[in-house]
Structures are given as structure tokens and as C-alpha cells.
Amino acid sequence: MEKKLWKDHCVLLNKDEENELEIFGYKTQGWRRAFCTAGYILSCGALLLLFYWKPEWDVWANCIRCSLEEADVVLLRTTDEFQRYTRKKVTWIDLSTLALPVGSNSDGHLVADKDSVINRAVMKPQLKIRCIQVQKIRYIWDFSVKEFKKVGSLEDSNTCHSIHHKFGAGLTREEQKIRQLVCGPNAIEVEIRPIWKLLFKEILNPFYVFQAFTLTLWLSQGYIEYSVAIIILSIISVGLTVYDLRQQSTKLHDLVEEHNKVQVTVCTKSEGCKELESCYLVPGDMFLLDGKKLSLPCDAILIDGTCIVNEGMLTGESVPVTKTPLPLVESLMPWKTHSMEDYRRHVLFCGTEVIQTKATGKGPARAIVLQTGFNTAKGDLVRSILYPKPVNFKLYRDAFKFIVGLSVIGVFGLIYTVCVFVSHGKPVADVVTMALLLLTAAVPPAIPAALTTGTVYAQRRLKKKKIFCISPQRINICGQINLVCFDKTGTLTEDGLDLWGIIPSEGSRFQKIHKFPSSTPLPWGPVCGAMASCHSLVVLDKKIQGDPLDLKMFEGTHWEIEDCSTAQDGAGALNICVVRPGLKASSAPVEGIAILHQFPFSSGLQRMSVVSQKIGEEQYDLYMKGAPEIVSSFCRQDTVPVNFLKELKTYTSQGFRVIALAHKVLNLGKDVDVNSLEREEAESELVFLGLLVMENRLKQETKPVLRELAAARIRSVMVTGDNLQTAVTVARNAGMIHTGSKVILIEAKEPEGSAPASIAWRLAEDCKANTAAPRVCANTEEKITLEGETYNYHFAMNGKSYQVIIKYFYNLLPKILVNATVFARMSPGQKSSLVEEFQKLDYYVGMCGDGANDCGALKMAHAGISLSEQEASVASPFTSQIPNIQCVPELIREGRAALVASFAVVKYLTLYGLIQFVGTALLFWQLQIFGNHQYLIQDVIITLLVCLTMSLTEAYPKLAPYRPPGQLISPPLLLSIILNVCFTIAMQTCGFLLVKQQPWYVALASQRHCSPGNQTVPPTSPGENATSSGPQSTVLSYEDTTLWPLSSINCIIVAFVFSKGKPFRKPIYTNYVFSVLLALQLAICLFLFFADIDAVYSGMQFLCTPVIWRVYVLLMLLVTFCVSLFTEDIILQNKHLWLLIKALFGYQSNSQYRKWQRMLQSDPSWPPLNAKDIGAKSTDEIYINPTYENSDEE
């Protein structure tokens, strides 16, 4: 029973998706509610604040557990390691307000689509629907399966036939109204958050609340100046944060706003077509694409006609993509599975721009709304910005632990104060304020502000280097990166490809190569026909646009594209693209070629083909181009040259990009509709035409950057959509794989029939064997070993093998990943899965790509850097406007500097708090305290300025071959703090006890003047002092005068000692502001201490002491400085010493990848060579994140 109740009480929402949540049902109870309200009033709102920080406590206090069906409040919990809670109210949508047709109340369906979740969610007869809204998406309660279901998109279970059949004619007016009410408006609304809301959210941060408490206490004690300074600083810090958030919110609002109000022509069943504003669109609506340029307001499925779309907004590249209609086939499979991973070529995505539409004979192009609002591809992108994945970084958690640790010390201080003051019989009010004062002295309220200044400065420095950042807290994480994945095309190599040559094939033999550029034009023939017509180029604004590869291939023929002529057909306009020979082309017996139909390219199929017709002739031709292995499989084997694979390898192993061409004459009747051709039928029995060889050159910055990363012991991995052989060669040329290193190719096969899954390992031949083209192979480069790794081999594999390994050989994956360098033919989903697998091995992963098909991986990595100026880069935390990989070492340098700076600031603030704590505690021993002005100089003139300028030191230009420590709570750091605190305690206690031993010392002194000639002050009798029992008496004492310079100058010493320069930051003297400030602060302290000026002394509440005593105080400080500097620099920051200690104690790194490396080093059977393993049964299918898988030829 209990189990069943739990099952009804808790369900998973968005199972197996990126934003998976657990959802729990609760019911509010009246008496609990009353108790809580009383609690709010009695605690003066403190309980309310606690519930604001902990929404789950709020729900547990006010409600009781119940099944989700009865719940009026739900509690949501994320399933990641953070387990954050949110509370949501369950609301009702009332459909009875709509004038619904008769019969809908009984068993009739409300919505014509009987599979629609809306029908299962309506509560009869009240006609109400329960719903919740989570992260901008609406979920409604499905009574049949007893869970909340997403609403706002068409059901995935629809088949191709049912989509055409159910929605092809449009919805009825009534159904539109119901759907509008249930799904909400089709708009991506990002409200510009009002300033007061942002302010409240910022101020109610636990840190600021603690700060407010501290300030109230200090103000009550009369520390007006310092409190005001902290208040001003906090106001500036909160103001900047709020301004920043407001700017981001406005920017995002403007980015999405214009697509919310687009006019579209929508067709309904009874009323025909009419113009409508796009916010009224609902899933299932049918609208027309009438040739106007249009920014799509929703995701839609194209069911008629073809479109050319610019998906730059989503993918980051402005290459026009051709979309084809969803085929009308009688298949029982859901439409997405029917089209396999290529369903995207039928989908028009929200936010992309329709540049051109081609109507069919039936009239204008038509599409059916698939998803609206935040369910769309663009909505997804906007949501990922509004609700970013929290960054799991130890720094912030450690900072919190630190503050807790300091608070514990503060509590000890509190107990100590109470004991001392009570034993002296002081009034309770005094005891309480003094005790709280010592408690707050230990915890510096500036820690959160100080941590942000470091990242703010780093962000400013990155901006100067043209690297922009949308989540600043990730900058610190960049300091920990030890593996970077690079995309190949456009990232390591130049963006475009250059045509290098063509190897035609005739009679199953390769002919003489035709090189480019050449003096003679390419002779007319099927190869020329294929190159002129097999592409997806379009003419926009008198300029040819399209895939760079297509463009280069077409330019090689010297033909020209005509602006698509519109041939008037009986039923309407039919767009046909015509290509004709140009002036420089070789003479051809044809006037031109008309491209009638396209089967577009997709990264899943790795091919594209077109149906064309020579002008003035009857016969139809089909031309295909694509990956050579794929194209040759569609050809008649007698037309494929025998040495096809050998020839292919010759070129791919030299890093060329090779594409195959094929052709076939289609035997079609006279009046056939080319658009209704089946792709499978048309693409068969082709004649192999030859290979197109394209050159992809490395960018000049690639090699030096990869060398720099290798020298810094940061692993580089290539993840590309290109051919494996080409990728391996590029990796060799770029220096990712050193000369003399072996490359082991891994080939894994799915189980077929009775044969189980298998994995084969074979050695790739070295480039020395290739004699096809003379290329220098020598590469005089010293071999750089990665930390303790002496391996001399690299694994390479393609996406298919990767998928099989994940499915059948998952236990081998870590072994492979530790030494894998090249991943080829990877789909976007596989790229993000790979990044995740690397993260599971405890690597800190950077990903650098050109934005398009890397979107998922860029978001998944610890630091994703997109080299694109498109706005799609909003999906990646960093964007570099200089499109080469130089930004990677830059970012790592800045990350390391920012990380070290953050640690230094936290260390400094901890010590400053403890120095003050020790001084105050010593004075409390005799019921005294530092004066207001004394605190003021320590707090404002020293600490505040140090915190603001300490992080200004720039990053060190050379990357060190190791990373800075990643945790605050690590032995060197804790030791540094503990030892420095010990030095402080020793020094201050010495000063405190020694001053009592001096011959001129008096317990209660009242005279502060220094008599002429500076003799020792004559002791005064206790009677004289009774008059000065004002506020002075709690401050004026020789102990105070001694402890103040000791603690103040100690703060300056620690600031200097902790601002270590090399190896991660430039030396301290390069930070001019900071160096000058330290010198000034020291000068001010010495002046105040040594100046025999009465005004200064009375203002500071000092007593006059003999000069020789002041010199002693300076000597104590000097000794502390030397000891502190020596411990910090010579012992604690000594890398070799720590390595020695680690070796002595046999300490080994706990990182997963280190453990695997140690295991593999001692394993003689690894790596397996020329071996074959057989797999076990399949583990679960890997989940590929569908955020935005882009189909593009990498």
C-alpha cells in the first residue's frame, strides 16, 4: 500500500531528457497554514525568509503528502547532483467558458485528433483541466496514465499518413479555440524583469542577509564610517549585478520579441484561409508559405512544396538549407522514426528564415504547426539561457564551507567573550553586543563580493581579446581544463575547401586526373553535368549562396546559375532552377540543365541527389554526390573501379576530402510529377562517375596552439564529421599525433543475425608508405609526454563504432577514451555524448567548435567556445570573434589567473578576519576594544582596497605544465592559512605580553601627549583616571596602541605574500595599482604610528610610547614578514616538495582517468593489436540529447 502511495505521490517529469525532474504531490492543510502564519509574525519574517531559501521546507510545513491526482501544490526536484527544489501551484483551465458544440460533453472527443493528450486530460462533465507551468512549459494532467504531460506540440505517435490526413485541411474554428486555451499563446515571451524583483532576489541572498545583520550590530556600536563604506560598496555591487541581469534580460527580450508578432495565412476547415497574428497559432494549424520572406514563428512540418531556409539563428552558419515535404506514405511507424534521423529535413524551425518557397502543382507550399511557444527549437535555446545548467564547481561550495568554518571560530569567540564579560559582572546588554561583535569579526562580509571581482576583471580582459562570455562563473572552471575537443572543419582547418582535382572513371577504370586550377576547362561529360547540377545552391540578391563545398565544385565548371525562372503551370507557379555553360566553360552540346527536384543532403544519409533534365530534351537524369563509401554502394558494382578503395585511401590518407559522383538515366513517362518520386527507388543502380578531391588546409595558428597545449600537458582530441582517414591525417599534420606514434583504428560492428557484436583493432599504416603524392613526412618535433604517460599509441574510430562500443562494449570505453585522439563521422548527438563520457572520467573538458552541429557539445562541456559571430553562440558559454583556436590557450590562461586570484582573495579575507579576531579577543581579555578609527583604517583603507585591486594582476603569458589547485580545501591552502594564523597569534600575544613588562607601562593610562623630548610618560595615580571613564577608557591603553600596528601591518604583509605571481599570474609589480596601494597603506600606518602629532593621536585614540618600543614593534613585523614569505614561497608553493611528499606517502591521484592510466601501464596485453573481441548482450541504448542535432556536412 505504502509503495503504491509513493508511486502516485512521486513521478518523473520529462523522463530521460536534459531537464528531467522528480515531481511530488502535496495538499495544503488549513491548521498547518495557520501555524506557519503565526510563525511568520512571531519571528518577524525570519521564518518566511528561511522558507524563501528552502521552498521544500515551506511545502513540508504547510502541506501533507498525497497522490499527484489530489495535489494542489507540487514540489519539483532536479535529478542532477544538486537536487534543487522548486514549488509550483496546480492551476485549473476552465473550458466551459467556450461555446462548445453539442455532444462534446458526453463521450465525444473534444479535439478531433483522438490521440491528443487534451482529450485524456479533460475532467468531465465540469470541462476542466489541471495544469502546472514549469520553466515556461505547460504540463496538463493526463487522467489515463496518471501523470503530467507536456502540451504545446503534436503527438510524436502520429504517422506520416495521419499528419496529412488529420491536419492537412486545417483545424475547425472550435478546435482552434480549445487548443489556444489549453496550449497558451504561441509566443516566446521573455519578460524584462522589473528592477525591484531583481533587487529583492539579490538582497535576499543569505550572504547579504548576514551582512545586514552585521551592519545593524556595528551601527548600534557607533561604527558609522565603516558601516557606511560597506553599505555603499554593497549598493554598488548589488547595483552592478542588477544592472547586468537587467541588460541580459532586455537583450534576450529584444532577441525574441520580433518573432512573436508575424502575420501568417492560416486555413481552417470551414472558413477557408485568412491572415492571423502568429501568437494565435496552435499545434495542428495548417498555414501557407506564399513565397514572401518570413521569419518562422513556430516549428512546423512541411507537407507540400519545398522551401529554402536560413538556419543561421540556430546553427550559427548562414548556409541555406533545402526542406522537402513529409512523404504521404501508408506506414504504421511514427513519422520521426519513419524518416530516421533525417526527420529534420521536413521540419521548419522557429526563428529560422524562409528565403524561398517552391510551390507544387497543387498551389502554394503548406506546413502544419508542430510545436508552439517555448516547445520550439528556438524556445529551447531561449530556455537554456534563462535556466542554465548550474555549474558544479567546488570553489563556490568550498567558499561556503569556509564561511561555516569561520563562523564556528566566531562562535568560540562568542563563548569566550560571554565568559570574560560575565565574570567581570558587566550588564547583559554589553555582554550580548560584545559577544556578537567578536562573532562577526571572524567572518568577513566581503567574501562574496570579492569572489565576483576576480571574475569581472577576467571577463573584461577576455573582452579585450575578443572573447565574449555569457556565464562568468565558468571562467574559473577554465583554469582546470585538461582536455580540449576540437571540431575539424572550420576550427583546425580553413572553413572552405579548395577544389584540388577530379579523377573521372570510365569502364570501371580510373582515368587521368584533371587538376585545378588548370588552363583547360573541364571537358563536357557526365562528370561535368554532375558538378554543374548536383548541388543545393540558390541565387539570392544576385549572389550564389549555399554550402561552401557545393559552391567550390560548381565554380570549377565555369557554368552559371540563372535566377530561378518561374514557369507558368496550369495549377500555379512551378520553380525550376536552370544552369547554363558560362563563357569560360568548355563547349557543351547542351543549352543548359534544369534542376527539377532535390533529395537534400543530410549528415545521416551522407549523400544528396538531384533529378534534372537537359533543356530541350525528353530524358531525365539523376545525379548523386556524397561520401565515397556510401555512393559506391548505390552503384552497379561493374561500374566501380576495382582499385576504388586503394585510390580512395591514397587521397584520404593525405588529408584530402574526397567526394564521389554517380549518375543514372531515369526512365520516366511524359507527364510525370518528379516531386512524387520515391528516393529509395530513384537512388539505385547508378553508374559510378569518379572522385572529386578537395583540399582542406590547416589554419596557420593551429599547429603552434596545439603545440602550446601539449607543452602545458593539456590533451587535444579531434571530433569531426569528416572521413576517418582524412581526420587521422589532419591530426598527424597538426601535431596532435606525433611522428613515430602508432595509430590504432577501432572498428566495431553491430550484431548481425547470429553473429554477436564485434570489435576489431588494427594498426593504421604510416604516411611513409604513400608514394602517390610527394609529401614530406619528417616532423622534427620533440615528443612531449603527458603527465607520467609514456604511451606511444592513439586510438581512432568513427561514430558508428563509437555507438556500438557504447551499446555493447561499455566496459572497454574508459580504456579506449584514455588514449583516443580521433573521432570521425560523429553526429551532433554523439559529440555531446562523447564530451559527457570524458567528464565521467573526471576530465575537465573544453570544447571548441564553429557553432553549428556542435551546439549540444558546446553546452555540455565545462567550457564551450564557439568560433562564430552568429547569435546561435548564445548556446555556448564563450564566443570568440577571432575565428581560430588561439582563443583556447587564452581562455585557459585567464581561467587559471582568475582561479588563483579567487583563492588568494579568499585566503586574504580569511586571514584579515582572523587577525582582527585575535587582536579583538586579546583586548577583550581586559574589557577593551579597538577604536572606531582604528577599525576604519583596517577595514576600509587596507582590506577593501586590497580586495578590489588584488585580482587586477594579469595572466602569465606561458602556460605552466600543471594546473592550479582546484579546491579551496586542499592541504597547501589550509596549511598556508593555519600557519599564518599561528604567526599572527604568536606575534600579537608577544606584543600584548611584552608591553606589560615595560618599565613605563601603566594599566589605566589617560595621558596621550608625548612630552617634549619624548621622555617616558610619568605614571599617573589611579585616582586621576576616574574622571575619564567616558568612551575613551575602553580604547585607550598601551596594549591597544601596540596591537593596532601589529594587526594592521600584518594585513598588508599577508596581502603581499598571497599575491603570488608565477606560474599562473604575472609578478606582483606588474599590477601597478596594487603595488602602489600597498606602499601607500604601509606609509599611512607608519605615519600614524610614528608621527608625534597630538591631533593624530587623539583622533586615532593612541597613547604615546617610547620610540624604541615602536622600533621593537616594527622588528616583530619584519620577522613575521620574513617567516611568512619563506613558508609561503619556499615551502608551500614548492611543487617539487609536494611531489616528494606525495611520493613518500604513496599518494596517488583519485581522478578516474589517472586510475585507468595506471592500470593500463601495468597491463601487457594493452593495447590489443590486430585482434578481435566479441561483445556481450546489449546494455541499455545510449540516450542522445535531441536539443538541436544539425544536419550539415561538417
Instruction: Tell me if 284 sits within 8 A of 179, measured CB to CB.
Output: yes
Please state, in angstroms and rounded to a whole number, the distance separating the CA atoms of residues 623 and 535.
9
Q: Measured between alpha carbons, how far is residue 827 from residues 312, 718, 733, 1184 in Å?
A: 19, 13, 24, 10
Residue with cell 597547501: 972
- End-to-end C-alpha distance for the chain, whole angstroms: 55
Which of 243, 241, 348, 353 shows the shortest CA–CA distance to 305? 348
Please state, in angstroms and rounded to a whole number, the distance separating the CA atoms of residues 20 and 1138.
43
Please state, in angstroms and rounded to a whole number, the distance separating the CA atoms of residues 486 and 803.
19
Instruction: Tell me if 617 sits within 8 A of 665, measured CB to CB.
Output: no
Instruction: Tell me if 690 sits within 8 A of 628, measured CB to CB.
Output: no
∠ at Cα 960 (955, 965), nearest 5°?
A: 85
E strands in 34-120: 63-65, 73-78, 85-89, 91-94
Q: What are phi and psi for residue 766, nearest 5 degrees?
A: -80, 160
Side-by-side strand order, sheet with 91-94: 91-94, 128-134, 137-142, 147-150
Q: Measured between alpha carbons, how far is residue 459 from residues 463, 468, 709, 894, 1159 in Å?
A: 6, 8, 22, 9, 40
Handedness of CA 683, 672, 329, 268 (dihedral sign): positive
Please state, in angstroms and rounded to a whole number, the distance separating the CA atoms of residues 218 and 222.
6
Instruction: Tell me if 670 sits within 8 A of 699, measured CB to CB.
Output: no
Please state, in angstroms and rounded to a whole number, the distance separating the CA atoms of residues 704 and 821.
18
The DSSP result for 563-616, as a single string, is: PPEEEEETTEEEEEEEEEE-SSSPP-S-S-EEEEEEEEEETTTTEEEEEEEETT
Please state, in angstroms and rounded to a whole number, the distance separating the CA atoms of residues 806 and 827.
14
Handedness of CA 738, 739, 740, 741 (dihedral sign): positive
Q: β-strands 483-486, 845-849: how paired?
A: parallel
Side-by-side strand order, sheet with 294-295: 294-295, 353-358, 306-310, 320-323
Which residues does 207 contact at the CB level (< 8 Å), separation at least 6?
Answer: 445, 447, 448
Please state, in angstroms and rounded to a whole number, the distance separating the CA atoms of residues 778 and 758.
36
Take residue 32 and report the three cell numbers written for it.
Answer: 498547518
Handedness of CA 394, 396, 401, 405 (dihedral sign): positive
Q: β-strands 498-506, 687-695: how paired?
A: antiparallel
Which of 349, 321, 330, 326 shows the shortest CA–CA distance to 339? 326
Q: Is 1163 annotated as catalytic?
A: no
Torsion-angle region of 542 (φ positive above 0: left; ψ -120 to 50: alpha; else: beta)? left
Q: Residue 39 burial by CB count (10 A; 0-12/13-18/19+): exposed, middle or buried?
A: middle
Which of 251, 288, 673, 209 shows the shortest CA–CA distance to 448? 209
Q: Which residue in 142, 285, 398, 487 is the catalytic one? A: 487
Angle of helix 30-42 relative to helix 55-62, nearest 10 degrees, comes to 130
Q: What are phi and psi for residue 972, nearest 5 degrees?
A: -60, -40
Three-state secondary structure call for residue 672: coil
Catalytic residue list: 487
